A and B are shown apart, each in its own frame.
Chain A
């Protein structure tokens, strides 16, 4: 497939557990973004990668959230000690770096439910 792929599509977990969400961007896209979308709200920025490094992580809500992109392609968003308020759809997007004018290509999201 040529689009952004996210796994799992749905994840149900219990409060206090650890969760990993995976994003496989479009081949050749060096920029990768994570957003979080709560019900009835727009996507809220979490973190942005340019290549392997986190260029901007100002949107991460607290130190329970962490993301990596070790080889500049696939990224993993990690959430420790999950709380009920973490329940949301986590969206990943990628874009061409130099041509980026906000033209992000989104995956279908990972829907996280914390019981």
Chain B
């Protein structure tokens, strides 16, 4: 079993839909939780990060962390075709100052007009 599990999809939704992307993890010591977006043939770019449990909102994006269930989510409201990409969850320990993120395999999202 991998430390971070993520359904690869693809997830196909119509424009304007609310999208829910999720990851589960096994290491209860993870403290930082991140979502990266990766367009085809590009490097990942950070969308949001959250420390410990709780919610964080940024525009159309909301990140949720439930440490008791070892489950994190990213919600995208009013999805746009430009949101079509692979979404990678990542998480890290706060040990030794290195904060090396461990990534999920990514979920491919397709938003069609």
Which residue numbers of A lie inside 8 Å of B, CB to CB?
Answer: 4, 31, 33, 35, 40-45, 48, 50, 55-56, 91, 93, 97, 100-109
Contact = CB atoms under 8 A, between A and B. Distances in A.
Contacts of A102: 32, 34, 46, 49, 90-92, 99, 101
The residue in B42, B43, B92 that gathers the most chain A C-beta atoms within 10 A of its C-beta is: B43
Contact of A42 (B51, B88, B97): B88
A42 B106 contact: yes
Q: Nearest 4 CB-CB pairs, A to B? A: A106-B43, A42-B103, A42-B105, A102-B32
Interface of B: 4, 6, 8, 32, 34, 41-46, 49, 51, 88, 90-92, 96-106
Contact of A108 (B43, B99, B100, B105): B43
B43 A48 contact: no
B43 A107 contact: yes
Contacts of B90: 42, 102
A108 B106 contact: no
A43 B99 CA distance: 15
A101 B49 contact: yes
